[in-house]
Amino acid sequence: MNFKRIVPVIALAALMSQAVQARELKAVGISMGSLGNPYFVTLADGATARAKALNPNVKVTSVSADYDLSKQFSQIDNFISSKVDLILLNAVDPSAMASAIKKARDAGIVVVAVDVDAKGVNATVQTDNVEAGKLACQYLVDKLSGKGNVIIQNGPQVTAVTDRVKGCKTALAAAPDIKVLSDDQDGKGSREGGLNVMQGYLTRFPKIDGLFAINDPQAIGSDLATRQLKRSGIIITSVDGAPDIENALKTDTQIQASASQDPWAMAQTAVDVGNAILNDNAPADAVTLLTPKLITRDNVGTYSGWSSKH
């Protein structure tokens, strides 16, 4: 018997068997915090594009939880009933969603958290939010030459926000002549919330030199409040690098910088990670962090932004 001829045939058969066992990505469910926010729309679009690149016939369903916990629970149940292979989840409440995540995983569905971490997921893909907060607040420190009254405008207590605040506080703590007037007011992650909270700050504090808002919508709302109450000389920074902030950095506003995220790349990475887990190739690290970049009035002209062609 010619063993030299048999071994390659056996090896080929084994490879073919592995190929047959590879699990194709046939259906993806995406639940975002709010599809009224361009950031989450870009996330959903990026995920859809990547899923279709992997399988042109994949079915992708994107839904908006509208920051409603019970609504997101129902969406996960619907994904389970539809027998999706992969769920991309932007959790409304990272801890409270644990039971729904477990239910999905028990059904053989891979769950990848995007933008914010969530308890019990297979993996998480998000911006390095600690670094984003640090970048934005170091810019404040530098512009104020290490002296002045600064406010941290907080937001919904998801990991993305708490990490940004943590990074900001690290930068501010290195400048002992910076006084933090407030760090616990929730701007709700929205333009209206930022406007309302900033109106309160402006009424309460006669001198504000700098403001860090946890995202761009809050920063834009805060800038509007300064105009309404005719207050100037406030340096505003934030996180996101959204299309609206590009315009704000090019026009007459008090917004000076934003640490940008890349929701398109985040979503594409999340689909790749999910597909790999589906085929028993889990990443070495459960959390994948994407590096933010600081966008300022000086470099916004060269910033590709979210709305660039991908």
Q: Return the exposure string of 74-92: e unless at least 16 CB atoms fall within 10 Å of the residue's CB, then b.
A: ebbeebbeeebbbbbbbbb
Please give the backbone phi and psi of residue 296, each rounded to the nearest 5 degrees, phi first.
Answer: -125, 180
Calculate what percentage of the chain has a pLDDT beyond 70: 92
At 141, is the pLDDT very low, low, confident or very high (cuts 50, 70, 90)?
Answer: very high
| pLDDT tops 70 at residue 16 | no
pLDDT for the residue numbered 21 = 54
Q: How many residues does the chain have?
A: 310
pLDDT tens figures, 24-51: 999 999 999 888 888 899 999 999 999 9
Tell me the per-residue pLDDT of 77-104, one tens digit each, with 9 for 90 and over.
Answer: 999 999 999 999 999 888 999 999 999 9
298: left (phi over 0), alpha (psi -120 to 50) or beta: alpha
Amino acid (one-letter) located at 228? Q
Whose tokens are 């001829």? That residue is 5
The tokens for 265 are 């790349």
109 Cβ neighbours under 8 A, 6+ residues apart:
79, 80, 84, 85, 86, 87
How high is the pLDDT of residue 52?
A: 97
Q: Give the 3-state DSSP-derived string for the chain, with helices as H, strands as E and coil as C.
A: CCHHHHHHHHHHHHHHHHHHHCCCCCEEEEEECCCCCHHHHHHHHHHHHHHHHHCCCCEEEEEECCCCHHHHHHHHHHHHHCCCCEEEECCCCCCCCHHHHHHHHHCCCEEEEECCCCCCCCEEEEECHHHHHHHHHHHHHHHCCCCEEEEEEECCCCHHHHHHHHHHHHHHHCCCCEEEEECCCECCCCHHHHHHHHHHHHHHCCCCCEEEECCHHHHHHHHHHHHHCCCCCCEEEEEECCHHHHHHHHCCCCEEEEEECCHHHHHHHHHHHHHHHHCCCCCCCCEEEECCEEEECCCHHHCCCCCCCC
| pTM summary value | 0.81
d(CA 73, CA 92) in angstroms, rounded, equals: 10
307 — pLDDT class (breaks 50, 70, 90): low
- From the centroid of its chain, how far is CA 125? 8
* Confidence (pLDDT) at 308: 52
> What is the distance between the alpha carbons of residues 185 and 193, in angstroms, rounded to a whole number?
10
